[in-house]
């Protein structure tokens, strides 16, 4: 009653509907008064925060908000009231009942018909914020290293990154002096300085703590208990006062095989790492290795430069002298040894012949600018070595001025910086390149797409999104290493199919994209997408492990005002259509695809509401024996009992039946209601034969479903033989067919029979019928409809009837609507029919009267049937 009054006072739907709506949404919904007191909250809020209604009512909800964010909420609330704003949004952290704070996006709005109330809702965005924070941390660190930040700065950033990537750990980096065999010093943000100071100058070796042992053995050392492990004998008294109880250590090993440092991950409890934590530690150490090695190289280079500048600035590795116009007058013999050119060949402008062709113009432009302005020269270019390979060199020169202040000579040096440059390029690639395929990564793709859209003028931008069909089967059958190899093969083929100007990227998993900055029209874009998928398909068939994979593609052409996110969404919708209609092909985005997507979204949303509100219910259609006209069973068909629209057919929620998780939940809910109906009917003495239930693939993929179904049957006191499970041919053929087969075998062993629905409309073969435990096949209504007029349909139906009988299976004809159809089917040996000729689907309470009428006796309805629905 209180909810009804509250809803009415705010001008909202009636109380029951208000309660249903607020309970059905995935996030938090609440109502507060003008002074900020919570007077209503939906169940998800109570479940999330773990506070009882008495605890969160009024101002009690503040206990679930992070202390640092209360001021943010208060400021936004006061500003809205002061300025008369009707709505506002804010991000805060709320405590989960486990004690963990998670970020929520809060939206507040005044009630539509009551200014004294505010309606709020919250959505969990913690995963999105955490993922962005991880990417930002890694990018800032890589950019800092690439820009030459100092070692201490890099170590601080590595500690921040490690603490974030391994929650609960207190991370420390201990630098190693491999010559002295000691630790130099340690860096940590989550451990006190006194802790890291204990390692300074200590000799490392086996048995000298986790990090000391890891540095000596050059391998991981996992100590789950510092208090008992022999590696900590004599040392545990130094560290246990700081509260640490476990230590996992990984050595950071440079390219030359020497230990640069160790990474210690300390925990306040005794524990071992999970597989996920080991994987994260490996990723952290990989970045640390590149960062420390690159930073030390830069610092060594700086030290060398300082020494060079202050001691022997004019004693270069390869010295040279040029006139005021930059023409070479003399060069060291080292130049000839390096490039293979004689001094005579290198004089004047001859040295340019040793430069990489792409670097000649930039080098000359820099030279001419320096000669014109009189400044010093500092330029990098690639130089051809005597063996024909190119190496990066750094040329620096200082002018000598005459009495009039004019340049008379240039004195310069040439320095090999090849390794330095390669390391620098590697760090840059790490930020924008996919490590597995060497294509652009998602971050770079988003930048490229936004840039292409920003610079377009009269032409349009095309986007093709691709992924591999049935890629999961490669991983499951051959392992993830083979899956990675297939992805690299896919990327190589895609790279080879690109035209000038097109940009390819890997977006993640088996999803790829191609940007066409200058696409002409939709027809050409679709042809291009089809050519790419066709070319990749032909190449993949050459690989034993990839031959069962096809490439599907969705393509979209930009329109005025399209953002990168909108264009990608269009291409994704087209890809979904391509995969759902015909795998291995390409589909172009169209408004119809958007409408189809919206229709699917509406169906899924209706199904989600129906599931939460309890609108799902079964109706039953009888199965009739053609030999005697008696009812031998029923099929349970799903319906939605909508409070406003009435009884809705399954087509209104069809998309949800294949939806991950939701489809399985709906199937389980329907099964529960069918079992309850069967138990009540049998208790009233109604003989039903068997009852068939249509199951989705989601139910059969759930390893716990068979045991759950048997438990429900046992609780209801029903024999297993009364139930028959109907599956479609697709369940036998999709990527989860093996899991479905195992579930069906377990259920059939318990006495539950299996029926193959819509037989003849899919792609199941005789091999599948022999392999899977099928007791019955149902001939699809599309073959029955024109049975008397279409001789080809008649031949097919006869063949299916004979096939079923020869395999020892029952054969059921669906969609029988005329006596002629029934007579033909009976004459051909089909014994069971189902369709409107006998009955439309009916509620459970109508079954007794139908059964009585069919048997020729007067219908009677026991008193218990009156309450059935």
Most confident region among 239-253, 321-335, 425-439 by mean pLDDT:
239-253
pLDDT of residue 435: 83
Closest to 516 measured CA to CA, from 426, 563, 470, 456: 456
How many residues in the chain?
869
**Could you tell me the strand order of the sheet in which 101-111 lies?**
38-41, 28-33, 114-124, 101-111, 87-95
pLDDT of 21 above 70: no
Average pLDDT score over residue span 234-244: 87
The answer to whether residue 286 scores a pLDDT higher than 50 is yes
Q: Taking 90 as the threshold, does the pLDDT of residue 229 lie above it? A: yes
The listed range with the strongest mean pLDDT (123-127, 382-386, 730-734) is 382-386
DSSP alpha helix (H) spans, 374-517: 418-432, 442-455, 471-478, 480-497
Considering the chain, what is the average pLDDT of its residues?
Answer: 82
pLDDT at site 1: 44
Task: Give the pLDDT of residue 36.
Answer: 84
At 863, the pLDDT band (50, 70, 90 cuts) reads very low
Residue 168: other Cβ atoms inside 10 A:
12
pLDDT given for residue 176 in this prediction: 86
* Residue 246: CB atoms within 10 Å: 22
- Give the per-residue pLDDT at 763: 54
* pLDDT interval class at 700 (50, 70, 90): confident
pLDDT of 722 > 80? The answer is yes
For the stretch 179-201, pLDDT in tens is: 888 888 788 878 888 887 888 88
pLDDT recorded at residue 5: 54
From residue 384, how far is each of 351, 397, 399, 655, 658 by CA, in Å? 10, 20, 26, 62, 61
Give the confidence band of 618 by pLDDT, cuts at 50, 70, 90.
Answer: very high
Q: Mind listing the pLDDT tens digit for each residue in 821-860?
A: 999 999 999 999 999 999 999 999 999 989 888 876 434 4
> What is the mean pLDDT of the segment spanning 26-46?
86
On the question of pLDDT at 15 being above 60, the answer is no
Mean pLDDT of 441-459: 84
Most confident of 34-43, 123-132, 205-214, 619-628: 619-628
Q: What is the pLDDT of residue 113?
A: 61
pLDDT for 545:
62
- Type and span of the H or E element at 293: helix 275-310
Given pLDDT bands bounded at 50, 70 and 90, which one contains residue 368? Answer: confident
The candidate with the shortest Cα–Cα distance to 186, out of 218, 217, 222, 210, is 210
Q: What is the mean pLDDT of the segment spanning 122-132? A: 80
State the pLDDT at residue 866. 28
Q: For residue 252, how many C-alpha atoms fall within 13 Å in the half-sphere facing its CB?
A: 26
Backbone angles phi, psi at 823, to 5 degrees: -65, -45
User: What would the mean pLDDT of 637-663 be, rounded to a whole number?
Assistant: 82
Q: Is 11 helix (H, G, I), strand (E, B) or coil?
A: coil
Task: Give the dihedral of Cα atoms 176, 181, 182, 184; nearest 10 deg.
Answer: -40
Q: How, if at all, do strands 377-384 and 38-41 pair?
A: unpaired
pLDDT above 70 (res 135): yes
- C-alpha 361/C-alpha 316 separation (Å) is 25
- pLDDT score, position 865: 31
- pLDDT reported for residue 512: 94
Please give the pLDDT value at position 514.
94
According to the model, what pLDDT value does residue 595 have? 79
For the cut 90, the answer to whether the pLDDT of residue 25 exceeds it is: no
Tens of pLDDT, residue by residue over 423-440, are 777 777 777 888 888 899
698: pLDDT confidence band, cut at 50, 70 and 90?
Answer: confident
Q: CA triplet 671, 673, 679: central angle to 5 degrees?
A: 105
- Give the pLDDT score at 620: 94
778: closest CA among 761, 794, 795? 761
Of 8, 18, 20, which Cα lies nearest the Cα of 612?
20
303 band by pLDDT with thresholds 50, 70 and 90: low
Rounded mean pLDDT of 508-519?
Answer: 90
The more confidently predicted of residues 505 and 702 is 505
Q: pLDDT-derived band of residue 149, with 50, 70 and 90 as boundaries?
A: low
Q: What is the pLDDT of residue 181?
A: 86
Residues of the chain above pLDDT 90, percent: 14
Is pLDDT of 543 > 60? yes
Distance, in Å, from the CA atom of 681 to the CA atom of 677, rounded to the nearest integer, reads: 6
| Mean pLDDT of the 268-296 span | 81
10 Å CB burial of residue 730 (0-12, 13-18, 19+) is middle
What is the mean pLDDT of the segment spanning 779-794?
Answer: 80
Q: How far apart are CA 125 and CA 123, in angstroms?
A: 6
Residue bearing the bigger pLDDT, 535 or 8: 535
The pTM assigned to this predicted structure is: 0.45
Q: Are 621 and 660 a contacting pair, CB within 8 Å?
A: no
**pLDDT recorded at residue 675:** 92
Helix, strand, or coil (residue 787): coil
Q: Which residue has the tokens 């100590």?
A: 223
99: Cβ–Cβ under 8 A, 6 or more apart, which residues?
Answer: none
């Amino acid at each position: 009653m209180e909810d009804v009054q509250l809803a009415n006072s705010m001008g909202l739907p009636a109380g029951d509907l208000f309660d249903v709506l607020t309970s059905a949404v995935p996030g938090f919904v609440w109502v507060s008064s003008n002074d900020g007191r919570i007077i209503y909250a939906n169940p998800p809020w109570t479940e999330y925060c773990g506070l009882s209604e008495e605890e969160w009512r009024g101002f009690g909800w503040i206990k679930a908000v992070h202390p640092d964010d209360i001021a943010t909420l208060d400021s936004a609330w006061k500003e809205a009231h002061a300025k008369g704003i009707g709505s506002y949004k804010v991000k805060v952290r709320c405590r989960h009942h486990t004690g963990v704070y998670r970020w929520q996006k809060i939206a507040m709005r005044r009630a539509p018909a009551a200014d004294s109330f505010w309606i709020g809702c919250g959505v969990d965005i913690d995963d999105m914020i955490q993922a962005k924070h991880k990417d930002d941390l890694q990018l800032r660190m890589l950019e800092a290293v690439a820009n030459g930040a100092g070692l201490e700065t890099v170590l601080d950033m590595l500690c921040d990154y490690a603490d974030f990537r391994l929650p609960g750990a207190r991370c420390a980096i201990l630098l190693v002096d491999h010559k002295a065999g000691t630790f130099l010093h340690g860096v940590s943000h989550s451990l006190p300085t006194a802790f890291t100071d204990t390692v300074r100058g200590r000799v490392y070796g086996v048995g000298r703590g986790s990090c000391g042992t890891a540095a000596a053995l050059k391998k991981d050392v996992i100590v789950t208990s510092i208090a008992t492990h022999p590696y900590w004998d004599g040392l545990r008294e130094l560290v246990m006062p700081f509260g640490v109880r476990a230590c996992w250590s990984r050595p950071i090993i440079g390219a030359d095989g020497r230990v640069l440092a160790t990474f210690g991950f300390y925990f306040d409890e005794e524990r071992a790492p999970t597989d996920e934590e080991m994987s994260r530690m490996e990723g952290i150490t990989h970045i640390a290795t590149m960062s420390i090695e690159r930073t030390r190289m830069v610092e060594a280079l700086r030290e060398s430069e300082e020494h060079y500048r202050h001691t022997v600035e004019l004693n270069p590795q390869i010295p040279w002298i040029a006139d005021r116009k930059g023409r070479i007058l003399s060069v060291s013999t080292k130049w000839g040894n390096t490039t293979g050119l004689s001094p005579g060949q290198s004089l004047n402008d001859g040295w340019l012949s040793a430069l990489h062709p792409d670097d000649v113009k930039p080098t000359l432009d820099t030279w001419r600018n320096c000669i014109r302005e009189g400044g010093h020269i500092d330029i990098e270019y690639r130089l051809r070595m005597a063996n024909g390979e190119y190496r990066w060199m750094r040329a620096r020169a200082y002018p000598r001025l005459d009495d009039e202040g004019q340049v008379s000579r240039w004195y310069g040096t040439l320095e090999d910086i090849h390794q330095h440059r390669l390391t620098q390029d590697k760090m840059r690639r790490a930020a924008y390149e996919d490590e597995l395929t060497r294509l652009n990564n998602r971050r770079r793709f988003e930048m490229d797409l936004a840039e292409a859209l920003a610079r377009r003028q009269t032409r349009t931008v095309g986007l093709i999104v691709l992924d591999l069909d049935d890629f999961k089967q490669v991983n499951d059958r051959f392992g993830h290493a083979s899956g990675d190899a297939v992805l690299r093969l896919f990327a190589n083929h895609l790279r080879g199919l690109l035209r000038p100007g097109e940009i390819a990227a890997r977006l993640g998993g088996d999803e790829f994209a191609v940007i066409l900055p200058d696409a002409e029209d939709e027809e050409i874009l679709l042809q291009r997408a089809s050519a790419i998928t066709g070319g990749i398909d032909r190449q993949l068939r050459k690989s034993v492990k990839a031959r069962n994979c096809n490439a599907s593609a969705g393509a979209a052409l930009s329109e005025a005002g399209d953002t990168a996110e909108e264009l990608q969404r269009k291409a994704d919708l087209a890809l979904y259509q391509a995969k759902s209609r015909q795998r291995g092909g390409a589909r172009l985005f169209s408004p119809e695809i958007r409408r189809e997507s919206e229709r699917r979204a509406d169906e899924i949303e209706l199904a989600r509401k129906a599931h939460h509100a309890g609108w799902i219910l079964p109706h039953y259609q009888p199965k009739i024996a053609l030999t005697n006209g008696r009812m031998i069973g029923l099929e349970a068909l799903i319906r939605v009992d909508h409070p406003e629209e009435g009884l809705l057919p399954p087509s209104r929620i069809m998309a949800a039946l294949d939806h991950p998780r939701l489809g399985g939940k709906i199937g389980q809910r329907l099964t529960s209601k069918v079992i309850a109906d069967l138990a009540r009917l049998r208790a009233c003495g109604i003989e039903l034969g068997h009852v068939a239930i249509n199951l989705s693939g989601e139910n059969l993929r759930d390893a716990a479903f068979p045991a759950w179904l048997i438990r429900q049957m046992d609780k209801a006191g029903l024999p297993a033989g009364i139930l028959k499970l109907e599956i479609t041919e697709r369940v036998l053929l999709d990527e989860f067919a093996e899991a479905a087969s195992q579930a069906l075998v377990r259920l059939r062993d318990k006495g539950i029979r299996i029926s193959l629905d819509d037989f003849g409309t899919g792609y199941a073969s005789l091999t599948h019928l022999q392999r899977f435990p099928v007791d019955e096949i149902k001939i699809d209504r599309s073959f029955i409809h024109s049975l008397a007029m279409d001789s080809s349909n008649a031949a097919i139906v006869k063949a299916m009837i004979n096939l079923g009988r020869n395999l020892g299976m029952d054969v059921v004809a669906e969609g029988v609507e005329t006596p002629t159809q029934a007579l033909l089917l009976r004459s051909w040996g089909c014994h069971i029919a189902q369709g409107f000729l006998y009955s439309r689907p009916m509620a459970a309470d109508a079954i007794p009267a139908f059964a009585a009428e069919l048997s020729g006796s007067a219908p009677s309805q026991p008193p218990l049937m009156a309450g059935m629905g």
